A and B are shown apart, each in its own frame.
Chain A
Amino acid sequence: MYRLDRRQLLGSSAIALLLGSETARAAIVKGGLPWKPGSGDPPAAVTPGGWRYFTAQEAATVEAFVDRLIPADVLTPGGKELGCAVFIDRQLAGPYGRFEGHYMTGPFQQGTKQQGPQSPVTPAQHYRQALATLDAACRSKFGGKVFADLSDDQKDETIKGLEDGSLKLGGTDGREFFKLILKDTQNGFLADPIYGGNKDMASWKMIGFPGAHYDYRNWIDRHNQRVALPPVGINNHPDWSQ
């Protein structure tokens, strides 16, 4: 680590840090392609157990919710067993949950639909607010029961109320939260299992996506034939653990 001076700007080779602070990553590339071992940046696999963002009560609500969006049936296990709630929890605890990378400078003001979302409320904050008001709404409607304690029919009725806007959440439109949790649940269901959902690549097996295979040159010409390769993910292959 060293401070910039002209001699270093002129005399550096391959790659050199311009400034000493850890955040300043400005560099000079010169003389050859910069390369150092171990410079890859693979995703960290989600570790099971516990909640990183949700409270126990929030987690129970989300597990119940994802289990209705992705119900257990002949096609796959339910959303809870597949890890969709864990997926959402880990996402909310990370960059996604805090709108990292978004332009977050004000003034914040509502625009047209075409101008896109303008709210400063992050996904993590959105869940916290909406889950609390969802349970409050369920309590008043279903004799004191929270969402997780409802029957499947009552849960579906509640979700439909959010979807069509008839169920308000603390004065706000429940549709926005419905769209958010639906998108997050389906992303967890369909994304690579390394992020905590889509356990055993259940959704990929259901639709016939063989996963992240690197090379389909042997298949491009085989028109209208089912690809007979086992599904594979970034961190797991059904055969690797056997």
Chain B
Amino acid sequence: MNENKFMTVFKQNAIWLVFIAEIAIFAYFNPKFLSVPNIVNISRQVSYYGIASIGMTFVILIAGIDLSIGSIIALVNVVCAYLMMNMGWNMWLAILVSILMAILIGVLNGWMVASIGIPAIIATFASQTIFRGCAYLLSGGLPIPGVVLEHPTFGFFARWALNRWDIFKSMGQVGLIPICAIIMVICFAAGSFILNKSYFGRYFYAIGGNEEASELSGIRVNKMKYLIYALSGFFAGLAGIVLLSRSGSAQSTAAIGFEFEVITCVVLGGVSVAGGIGRMSGVVAGVLIIGSLKSGMIMMNVSEYTQMVVQGLVLAVAVGIDCFSKKRQAS
């Protein structure tokens, strides 16, 4: 392997080296960081923003942004819990309606961006405010407690498997792996398939790279934007369900500032804010880095406010590196 090829491989996988270095540092300062319960806990924590980051990856790939995902999560939480607890709906029906609502919010975002031409940051910021308000209105600002979701996606499978093998010790885990982490892995696999193996993925890259050329080459750019924002809404909705299943209580204040964590994961994973560049494997690394960083800081008794400062710095550095490399290419 010559020097150039080595550098290319190194650059493409540098994010994983950062992840390993981070793990090593936290493990050095606190050996319990690498304990099985902590790893299980990290995988549980990262699951819902891992799921949401898939939709955000698609959006950022077309040089857009979705600031409404935190509010979608809160609204899905509240609507699903409201339908189940206050109206007595069946769990599956409540989940289905909640996720459909999340997709519709995504379609609304797509309509504002693609058809009306509102800049994505403004359109989705408006959605963020509107739907956070809806969540407050529906819940009256109060939590809806006592929601029991039997890990919806795998509920049937888990119940079936529980009766057969001892390895399935509890409803929340398959062996040592939390079910929400399994859902995240499946979503990442699906996201990776869409990006690398489907024509839609190719369209996402094309639109992010050169929108006008994409239009001339036959891609229906506006329709694609609808689809991408709808997908972002879908993954945010799914993340909301996973969060609800974890917390057992719906809160209209859930996931405030969540979109910035997700954007940090995605940009840290090498997805360019200019669009057209990025890989799902990088996003996985970004999610793991942020999850480990949060867990490591908690274990080192770093205050919540300091954690916010660190996360903000990570976002600034990640975007800064992206902008700097673009500037260097252009100069």
Asked if A and B are interacting partners, one says: no
Chain A: residues with CB nearer than 8 A to chain B?
A: none
Chain B: residues with CB nearer than 8 A to chain A?
A: none
